[in-house]
Structure 1
Amino acid sequence: FNLNHMNKAQLIGNLTKDVELRNTPGGKIVGSATLATNKVVTDQAGNKNKYTTFHNLVIWGKAAEIIAQYAHKGSKLYIEGEIENRSYDGKDGVKRYVTEIIVREFEFLDSRQSDSPAAAPKKPQETEQGEEEEIRVENIPF
């Protein structure tokens, strides 16, 4: 653990759609999803304004399978991971920039998950380290 450098994001929010699972050309499983987080800001007039931020998630391996199985659109999740910026050339030739959260740990926060006998674990789950593989442009979901 290096205190001189840290790249860590902690989010609590809701999935905007079900996790999309794919296999990389190397045969590894990767999931993508979007997590929405909300904040309410009171302006000078006392009006409350709600703002939503959308976070692109990349989930590798078994963690992707577990989240895809137990979480669905609207599910509340705790996500912990690293912020990663990357760029790619779109089909129109324009360079695009993307910020993603590479999920390292997660926890289901909906009570619905605890209703199932095969419920997902209560404590945060760590994803397998070293599974990352380059995502090719043709595999980008957006």
Structure 2
Amino acid sequence: MKNVRNQVQIIGRLGRDVELKTTQGDKKLANMNVAVNRYYTNAIGQKVENTDWFRVVAWGKMAENMANILHKGDEVMIQGRLATRSYEDKNKILQYVTEIVAEQFLFITSPKQVVAS
């Protein structure tokens, strides 16, 4: 396969406010969790809703922009790539984390903007 890209796009709601940090090298890092609902019909014909949670990180100016614009409950589209990293936990056990590294985002709506009918 030619030109295969590691690309992912999700639309969901932030589970909490964006957490903005500054690394030791003075780079900005944003962490957030995005909930994406999916629906299916089970074996007895009932509609079932499940929520998948995705960890998202962003760097630099995008991280700062996300922290300034996005808040808990906001609906957002994230486009980026999947990345897996590892670290040792406090018990010296190697842990693996898969996350979306954001390359673009689009603020869609805030729960405050939704008007009940």
Structure 2 length normalisation: TM-score? 0.89
1:72 alignment counterpart: 71
Which moved further from structure 2: 47-56 or 8-17?
A: 47-56
The alignment covers a number of residue pairs equal to 113
Report the CA distance shift for 1:106/1:113 in structure 2 as closer, same or farther (over 3 A): farther
| Matched position secondary structure for 1:69 | helix
4+ residue runs of structure 1 moved beyond 3 angstroms?
111-114
Q: Is the 8 A contact 1:14 1:77 kept in 2?
A: yes
Deviations 1:2-38 (A, max 9, x none): 9432100000000000010111111010100011101
CA RMSD of aligned residues (A): 1.9
Aligned to 1:52: 51
Q: Which residue matches 1:99?
A: 98
1:38-84 C-alpha deviation (Å, 9 max, x unpaired): 10111121111111111111111111111111111110000000000
Given that 2:16 and 2:33 are in contact with CA atoms closer than 8 Å, whether structure 1 keeps it comes out as yes
Q: 2:7 matched to which residue of 1?
A: 8
SS of equivalent residue, structure 2 residue 63: helix
Per-residue deviation at 1:112? 7.4
Instruction: Report % sequence identity.
Output: 38
Hey, what's the Cα distance between the residues in 2 that align with 1:11 and 1:108?
Answer: 12
User: Partner residue of 2:20?
Assistant: 21
SS at match of 1:84: strand
User: Are the counterparts in 2 of residues 34 and 54 from structure 1 also a CA contact under 8 Å?
Assistant: yes
The structure with the largest strand share of the pair is 2
CA distance, structure 2, for counterparts of residue 105 and residue 71 of structure 1: 13
**Aligned counterparts of 1:110 and 1:35: Cα–Cα separation in 2:** 14
Instruction: Select the structure with the greater relative contact order (CA < 8 A; seq sep ≥ 6).
Output: 2
Looking at structure 1, the residues matched to 112 and 61 of structure 2 have their Cα atoms a distance apart, in angstroms, of: 17
Given that 2:83 and 2:100 are in contact with CA atoms closer than 8 Å, whether structure 1 keeps it comes out as yes
Gaps of at least 5 residues in structure 1 are 115-142
